[in-house]
Structure 1
């Protein structure tokens, strides 16, 4: 965390595990954009923005990611609420 405790760097793996990468792409798909993540041998090798023609995700992918987001919120809700109040 930086000196003023306002920014905590995280990895792409951590961001992806929360389901927020998916959530960002849901919004970006509305505009024909996406964040693309290349994964080789289980390791993220690059992330970049791209124009895309697809819009949305299948039901199975959405359910899986919604569970990740709900888990993140359940585990971090109290901290997020306190941060919002300060």
Structure 2
């Protein structure tokens, strides 16, 4: 429940969580950061599994992100490089 005069502003996504954290003694910045980070796990997943792609597709992706040494890499090495780039 948002109390009058305690509105965190439009930049906070989950105002209820923000207020709960503030009530627990968290700073404004930390409360806002936590309230805005929720749902980050839901993003992503759009690229699909690298293991399901061909080596040629992985190589094209490695070119886009400019992975050095990509021309000599195996499919497994490309997967590792893309995940850790």
TM-score (norm 2): 0.24
Could you say which structure has the larger radius of gyration?
A: 2
More helix, by proportion = 2
TM-score (norm 1): 0.23
Structure scoring higher RCO (CA < 8 A, sep ≥ 6) equals 1
